[in-house]
Amino acid sequence: MLRNLARLSAALALFLSANVAGAQAPPPPAGPGVAISDLIGRDPAAVRARLVDVAAGWPVPPAFQIATADGVLTLISVADLTVDPVLAQRMAAFRTSGDPPAAGAYLLCEASLIQGDGSRTPGDSLVLTFRDGRLESVAQPAKIAVPPPPPYTDRKAQLAYIRRPVSSPFIARFGELPLEDGTGFLSRMPKAVLAPDDRLSAACSPAPAPSPAIPHARHEGLSASDMQGLAILPFAITLPGMNRQRVAARRDGAALLAMVRVGEPLGAAPETFAATHKGVRAYPVAQGDYAVLSLDMGAYPGRNLTNFNDVALVGVRRGRIAWIAPPASLGPHAALLCLDEHGVPNTPRRGCSGWGHFSP
């Protein structure tokens, strides 16, 4: 009997020690990345700080903002929020066909989405929606099928491809101005809101050093590039003036864009505002109190003789700034001003070329 009691005591002690050890054991490690629920309610800088370890002095890039009945919405992609300022400058120079800025080290940041089933997909295109400066939701945009371009040898098919109707969630009906119907675009943007337990993971690493330039082989006669250079040589005298305009517009446009705030009064009729501010055009609707302003945001100096300056758009409704779309943001782009009543890139408004290119 004593032997059985000893065995029972030993088993009880073993059971109690196992439970105590289990109670004191650390919780299992959390999954990779940051849960969406942990990001909700944070401001853009705090969201970025939770995702990546970068310098606190990185500015938050300007983003598309629009006034709603429940506050101001700000939409920005994960890629834009985590872009290195040096890389952003290089991208702006490329976008405006300017000469690349002086070489400088920068980080490349990449994000991933980890969903409940453990699947991992690229997360750079995820859309962060902030309401009055606090994260409200994270959404995955749906992929939009784009028809492949026809072969270059078929010029007729190429022309038809370029002149095909273009749809955009920011235009409800062909012929309208961007966001003429206000926040209706929110229901037209195909997206899936992520679950609170979905996770975001991001990492930044130094960009690889650029490859050394390869010297061109010497050739006899003039190449196609040489002939193209000679063709535009008579117009090169205008290049210094164009570069000065690009730099001035980049400086003045940034200052003007910093002055306007969503929800505040514009302070003048859109046409008057455009007439009194250099680089601004006004596009009012025929009937009603709505207009879109285009702001020339300039470019980086380059050797191109075409106006590829950046453009910001500002929507004005009943005298107040309804929305602001900086260049290269998730908001409407200036090319939408060049869609005609059939949705075809054309010349329906000032600044538009026959191929739908907009020059501020």
pLDDT in tens, 94-117: 999 998 887 789 999 999 999 988
Residue 24 falls within a domain, yes or no? no
Three-class SS state of 309: coil
For residue 343, with 0-12 CB atoms within 10 Å meaning exposed, 13-18 middle and 19 or more buried, which class applies? middle
Q: Do residue 293 and residue 194 come from a single domain?
A: no
Residue 227 falls within a domain, yes or no? no
146 DSSP 8-state letter: -
Q: Which of 237, 197, 41 is nearest to 132 (CA)?
A: 41
- The arrangement of strands across the sheet holding 320-325 comes to 191-193, 134-141, 127-131, 71-77, 64-68, 320-325, 310-317, 290-298, 280-284
**233 vs 9, higher pLDDT:** 233
Inter-CA distances, 194 with 157, 173, 176, 198, 347, Å? 40, 29, 32, 6, 40
pLDDT at 91 over 90: yes
Q: Do residue 171 and residue 114 come from a single domain?
A: no
Q: What is the mean pLDDT of residues 273-292?
A: 96
Q: What is the mean pLDDT of residues 180-192?
A: 94
Q: Do residue 293 and residue 347 come from a single domain?
A: yes
182, amino acid identity? G
**Continuous segment of H or E residues that includes residue 158:** helix 155-162
Question: CA angle, corner 324, sides to 322 and 330, nearest 5?
Answer: 125
Q: Take residue 183 and report the two structure tokens written for it.
A: 């926040």
* pLDDT of the residue at 163: 86
Three-class SS state of 260: coil
pLDDT at 258 over 80: yes
pLDDT band at 8 (very low <50, low <70, confident <90, very high): very low
Q: Do residue 307 and residue 326 come from a single domain?
A: yes
Q: Do residue 138 and residue 152 come from a single domain?
A: no
* pLDDT of the residue at 56: 87
Residue 211 falls within a domain, yes or no? no
Domain assignment of residue 276, given as a range:
147-180+235-360
**18 vs 319, higher pLDDT:** 319
The rounded distance, in Å, linking the Cα atoms of 200 and 114 is 6
Q: Report how many domains make up the chain.
A: 2
Q: Which of 51-55, 122-126, 194-198, 211-215 has the lowest average pLDDT?
A: 211-215
The rounded distance, in Å, linking the Cα atoms of 194 and 115 is 8
Residue 21 falls within a domain, yes or no? no
**Strands (DSSP E) along 117-198, which ranges?**
120-122, 127-131, 134-141, 191-193
Q: Do residue 279 and residue 258 come from a single domain?
A: yes
| CB of 141 closer than 8 Å to CB of 125 | yes
Inter-CA distances, 69 with 31, 39, 44, 132, 218, Å? 37, 24, 21, 12, 65
223, amino acid identity? S
**Continuous segment of H or E residues that includes residue 108:** strand 107-114
Residue 111 falls within a domain, yes or no? yes
Q: Do residue 357 and residue 304 come from a single domain?
A: yes
The rounded distance, in Å, linking the Cα atoms of 106 and 85 is 8
Beta bridge partners of 293: 282, 314
pTM of the model: 0.84
Three-class SS state of 282: strand
* pLDDT of the residue at 32: 80
Q: Do residue 169 and residue 50 come from a single domain?
A: no
Q: Do residue 257 and residue 133 come from a single domain?
A: no
